[in-house]
């Protein structure tokens, strides 16, 4: 009888050991799956970090380009405003001279330019160069020399 109890105890231990072995195999399989998934996720994370880095650098470049474009636009806008004011002054003088003297419009315009030039009303090099180029384009150097 002692032998039967001993055999039953060993069988029970063997059964318990087999169950434990099955659990160990299942957990080792799950561990390997998790390690594979970790490697996959690590690679994916590295790719996403690289992509984010490139996109952030591009965004910084866009911000710089936008700021430079806005600054250039502001300069153009300011220059256009100055030019508009300058042309208005010329036209005002031209209309006044034309009304008072009964002269041709183009002659009045040139006289307006000359009056502003001689009065020192050109506020910057841009206006002065516009005056010079306009005189060259109209081919009225003789007229201007005569009027100056």
How many Cβ atoms sit within 10 Å of the Cβ of residue 97? 19
What pTM does this model have?
A: 0.48
Nearest-angstrom CA–CA distance, 51 and 90: 58
Give per-residue pLDDT as tens, 48-60. 999 999 999 999 9
- The mean of the pLDDT values for the chain is 75
Query: What are the residue ranges spanned by the domains of the chain?
Result: 2-147
Q: What is the dihedral of CA 130, 136, 140, 145, to 10 degrees?
A: 80
């Amino acid at each position: 009888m002692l032998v039967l109890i001993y055999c039953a105890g060993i069988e029970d231990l063997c059964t318990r050991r087999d169950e434990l072995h099955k659990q160990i195999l299942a957990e080792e399989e799950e561990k390997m799956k998790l390690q594979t998934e970790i490697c996959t996720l690590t690679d994916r994370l590295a790719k996403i970090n690289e992509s984010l880095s490139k996109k952030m650098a591009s965004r910084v470049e866009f911000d710089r380009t936008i700021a430079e474009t806005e600054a250039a636009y502001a300069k153009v806008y300011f220059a256009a405003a100055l030019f508009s004011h300058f042309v208005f002054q010329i036209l005002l003088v031209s209309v006044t001279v034309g009304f008072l003297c009964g002269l041709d419009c183009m002659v009045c315009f040139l006289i307006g330019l000359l009056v502003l030039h001689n009065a020192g009303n050109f506020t910057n090099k841009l206006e002065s160069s516009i005056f010079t180029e306009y005189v060259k384009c109209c081919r009225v150097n003789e007229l201007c020399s005569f009027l100056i």
